[in-house]
A and B are shown apart, each in its own frame.
Chain A
Amino acid sequence: MSAHVEVQQLQVVAETDTGGTITIVDDVSFAIDKGQVLALIGESGSGKTTIALSLMGYARGGCRLESGSIRIGATEVMDLSREQLGQLRGRRVSYVAQSAAASFNPSRTIMDQVTEVAAIHHLMPRQQAQKKAVELFRALALPEPDSIGSRYPHQVSGGQLQRLMAAMALISDPELVIFDEPTTALDVTTQIDVLRAFKKVVQERNITAVYVSHDLAVVAQMADQVVVLNKGAIREQGATAQVLDAPRDEYTRTLMAAARQPQRHGPELDSAVPPLLEVRNLLAGYGKIDRQGQPAVPILSDINVSLQRGATLGVIGESGSGKSTLARVIAGLLGPAAGQVLFDGEVLPPTLKGRSREQFRRIQIVFQNADTALNPAHTIARILGRPLTFYHGYRGAKKQQRIAELLELVQLPANLAGRPCSELSGGQKQRINLARALAAEPDLILCDEVTSALDTVVGAAILDLLTELRSKLNLSLVFISHDISTVRSMCDEILVLYSGQKVEYGRREHFVKPPFHPYTDLLIASVPELQQGWLERVAQRPALPEIGRSVKSLELCHFLERCPVRIDGRCNRLPPPRVQMQRGNEVLCHHGEQELRELEIPPLKCVAGGAG
């Protein structure tokens, strides 16, 4: 039997402004059998999304499907007219986009959009489509499946929206589903639920699918076949097990190496020296501060951390945990509602207004997105020159020389200085972003998700650079990330934030084996492993223990709502104590050290799990 989907010698070109064309996908051929999942993996610019979209006969603005053959069942997609393509899309081939938040129409209800496919293709009456949608919501483990459809996209969470989008793709029982990086924008603890839901429907309905991703570990869970792409061409293809265990291509091996985080050790630290940075009893948030000293929207509460000179503090937590707020308070962009930030033994004025130029200089911040942090109209020399003049009064030849030194420091060629930063690649921009901070010759750099927007290989190079600079310049870093493996690889100490609470704090070595705080445990266990079958081994989460109503007005554990080991009568009645573990970790939990060690927290450890 021939394959269900067959792509042969596909070529996609992009039109340039000058009227010429560039080939962005070249000579790509692959086949997918019915009921199989094929993964397209590669970095940004590898053409993976372009290839996936071409299966729907679609090319984004400025691109064109130039030649080759795309056969789905008995249909040659390249030969279809505009109307025929309309009949193919959504009905026979459907698409799950990377960012569900952007791909749902903000002004229409979810049900309206999920059932629209049925209406466009006249598949079934409205009532029946709604019934089917509710069934799919249930199959995808969405909460309140009967009523969730009547909400608007902004009223549900990111992970739920991603599953709702899968429901939208499945309502027409398509022959082929394209998943385009569907979990990349999600927190790791959410990702695992979404992956599990996807895997279940794919298996139950025997769906043929293309799974686009840059994440090898995720691909290992989802795909039967893997196609590795680089710069629009296939580097390697084969069964998932073969590609992961015995990659034949050099590029595949590079990808695998970048995915496995090496230990990036800093210099040994002298703990007798007073700390460079100390945060004491910090309370911070947004909005007006009321009479009790609470801000209208409290973000961080009761945060105590310190950082040695030359050391790296990792701050980890999911989106909304208050990681960036902590950096903003240290930098002085946001004044704390209570508590202090001490730098080199001195109390820092709460906001930038009170701080001296010298204090500015010594603490620098590097933002996540270099695209928005750097002015695209300025040249590199101007971006780097301004802090040099502002902080050090460098001008003329001295300034030029220093710019060249900075570029060398971040391993960029000196001749980039005259170029506008819009001409650089993402990784180069992030290096300039870093060089801009280094220009001030700071003691402390706050790195806010500096590698999150980058490809794995490029991101790994930035991490290596940071490690090198740190030893060379005796820098201290506050390294904010949502990725525990990066943090474990980079940092000396780790602070785990959950919804603004410091739930665990300790040295890196202690984040490898339990006892952990239940949230740390969830975080660590949710990181996909680079081996097939991990998702199946990780059991379904059992139902959370029943608890009574929570006492209001007390600062209870914020993780209470999601904690698999919560205790009725304790967790919902009393604020959690801060427990010092024997090995030095600080944990905010009602469970003691012995209990946490013995708990063998159920969510992901036991193989034969109960129903979720």
Chain B
Amino acid sequence: MNQLLLLLGKRIGAALLTLLLVSAVVFFISSLLPGDAAQAMLGQSATPEAVAALRSALGLDQPGHIRYVHWLGGLLTGDPGISLANDMPVAELVATRLPKSLVLAGITTLVAVPLALFLGIYAAMHSGSRTDRVLSTLTLCMVAVPEFLLATVAVLVFAVKLRWFSALSYAPPDASLGEFLSAYAMPVMTLCLVLVAQMARMTRAAVIDQLNQPYVEMAVLKGASLGRVVLRHALPNAIGPIANAVALGLSYLLGGVIIVEVIFNYPGVASLMVDAVTNRDMPLLQACAMIFCAAYLVLVLFADICAIVSNPKLRS
């Protein structure tokens, strides 16, 4: 048991270290963006003196590593700075947007993961059959279609032509269930299509890999039914790879959410980040980037922990 804790501790420590490195990369890469906030705030006609004055007021004239240490310290104490573009604390801006992004991601996860697991396992159980081939072709098509295309087509068909849903996805806090569903239907659907396809393919591969193992043949020769073979024998050993597939799929959601939020004009963190890029609003951009990176690391960490805990060789 102690060994397991040690293993998990090491894994979590490695994740934290990665996050630290990521923060440095995020900070220095974002400072490579052309132009700076002082220029952006004062506009093209500003005198160089005015720009310089504002730069020093904002602390932009200090060397990079000092700004990094200040910024990192701020992040750790929960204060990622003041947004340069609209003079509000970044924390506050993020706090209004993050829950909305989480709701979108959460709903998508709730729909996509069970659906993907079901499709993947079903296809693996009947691998080579007509259903499997149809599912394979469909999922392959879905993986190949970029989500901005899906999102645009969805808007065109469901909002413009059929007028079932609004092109803008926003549910007010007091929305009824119907309004809520109608607001989320299109972004969730768009995200799910790509996500389910990827996760289902990887789940199928993981389960089929296990179904080819000798212990599965042994279970068949013990008289076990197909359902029992898959659920009781193959699946427990496929948890590691499946958790990884889910984590990778969900981390893909992070990228997809940027496009989807923008196209459906959904007020989440991703659209906030896109605004930050346009405004050269470094503190906001960096905070958003860190949120995405942290989410990614948490997902991968979660998958690793699943794999460790589900494997008796690592557990004991």
Give the interface of A toward B (CB within 8 A). Answer: 53, 56, 58, 60, 86-91, 94-95, 97, 99, 102-108, 116-117, 120-121, 152, 154-155, 168
Contact = CB atoms under 8 A, between A and B. Distances in A.
Contact of B221 (A95, A121, A154): A95
B221 A105 contact: no
A420 to B, nearest CB: 24
Interface stretch (B138-146, B164-172, B211-219, B249-257): B211-219
Contact of A152 (B213, B237, B313): B313
Contacts of A58: 220-221
Interface string B236-258: 11000000000000000000000
Given A120-B228, A152-B312, A155-B316, A105 B215 contact: yes
B236 A108 contact: yes
Contacts of A102: 213-215
Nearest to B213: A102
Given A95-B222, A102-B213, A152-B313, 19 more contacts: A56-B221, A86-B223, A86-B225, A88-B223, A89-B221, A89-B222, A95-B221, A97-B217, A102-B214, A103-B215, A105-B236, A105-B237, A106-B311, A107-B237, A107-B310, A116-B224, A116-B232, A120-B225, A154-B313
Contacts of A120: 222-225, 228
Contacts of B223: 86-91, 117, 120-121
Contacts of A103: 214-215, 217-218
Interface in B282-316: 310-313, 316
A94 B215 contact: no
A487 B233 CA distance: 42
Contacts of B222: 89-90, 94-95, 116-117, 120, 168
A94 B223 CA distance: 9
A108 B215 CA distance: 11
A108 B236 CA distance: 8
A154 B237 CA distance: 14
Contacts of B224: 86, 90, 116, 120
Nearest to A53: B221
A77 B219 CA distance: 19
A586 B221 CA distance: 50
Contacts of B220: 58, 89
A60 B233 CA distance: 18
A172 to B, nearest CB: 9
A64 B43 CA distance: 78
30 contacts: A53-B221, A56-B221, A60-B217, A88-B223, A89-B220, A89-B223, A91-B223, A94-B221, A97-B217, A97-B218, A103-B214, A103-B215, A104-B215, A105-B219, A105-B233, A105-B236, A105-B237, A106-B311, A107-B237, A107-B310, A108-B236, A116-B219, A117-B222, A117-B223, A120-B225, A120-B228, A152-B312, A152-B316, A154-B313, A168-B222
A90 B311 contact: no
A367 B272 CA distance: 59
B209 to A, nearest CB: 13
A155 B316 CA distance: 9
A120 B225 CA distance: 8
Residue of B222, B310, B312, B316 with most chain A CB atoms under a 10 A cut-off: B222
Nearest to A57: B221
A106 B237 contact: yes
A105 B218 CA distance: 9
A85 to B, nearest CB: 8
Nearest to A112: B232
A340 B38 CA distance: 69
Contacts of B310: 107
Contacts of A88: 223
Contacts of B215: 102-106
B208 to A, nearest CB: 12
Q: Which 10 A-B pairs have the closest CB atoms?
A: A90-B223, A90-B222, A89-B223, A102-B214, A152-B312, A103-B218, A95-B221, A107-B236, A105-B215, A103-B214
Contacts of B236: 105, 107-108
A152 to B, nearest CB: 4
B232 to A, nearest CB: 8
Contacts of B237: 105-107
B311 A97 contact: no
Residue of A58, A86, A105 with most chain B CB atoms under a 10 A cut-off: A105
A95 B312 contact: no
A116 B220 CA distance: 12
A115 to B, nearest CB: 11
Contacts of A91: 223
A606 B40 CA distance: 97
Contacts of B228: 120
A108 to B, nearest CB: 7
B30 to A, nearest CB: 41
Contacts of A53: 221
Contact of B214 (A56, A86, A99): A99
Nearest to A83: B225
Interface in B186-230: 213-215, 217-225, 228
B206 to A, nearest CB: 14
A60 B216 CA distance: 12
Contacts of A60: 217
Nearest to A121: B223
Residue of B224, B237, B310 with most chain A CB atoms under a 10 A cut-off: B224
Nearest to A102: B214
Residue of B214, B223, B311, B316 with most chain A CB atoms under a 10 A cut-off: B223
A264 B213 CA distance: 40
Contacts of A105: 215, 219, 233, 236-237
B316 A90 contact: no
Interface in B132-157: none
Contacts of A116: 219, 222, 224, 232
Nearest to A155: B316
A279 B232 CA distance: 52
A336 to B, nearest CB: 30
Contacts of A154: 312-313
A118 to B, nearest CB: 10
A513 B311 CA distance: 49
Contacts of A86: 223-225
Contacts of A97: 214, 217-218
A106 B214 contact: no
A104 B236 CA distance: 13
A294 B313 CA distance: 27
B241 to A, nearest CB: 13
Nearest to A171: B222
Contacts of B217: 60, 97, 103
Interface string B79-115: 0000000000000000000000000000000000000
A121 B218 CA distance: 15
Nearest to A56: B221
A168 B233 CA distance: 16
Contacts of B233: 105, 108
A58 B221 CA distance: 8
A377 to B, nearest CB: 22
A60 B313 CA distance: 29
Nearest to B216: A105
Residue of B215, B217, B311, B312 with most chain A CB atoms under a 10 A cut-off: B215
A232 B118 CA distance: 41
A107 B223 CA distance: 20
A53 B220 CA distance: 11
A91 B221 CA distance: 10
A455 to B, nearest CB: 20
Contacts of B316: 152, 155
A88 to B, nearest CB: 7
Given A97-B214, A120-B228, A106 B312 contact: yes
Contacts of A87: 223
A87 B221 CA distance: 10
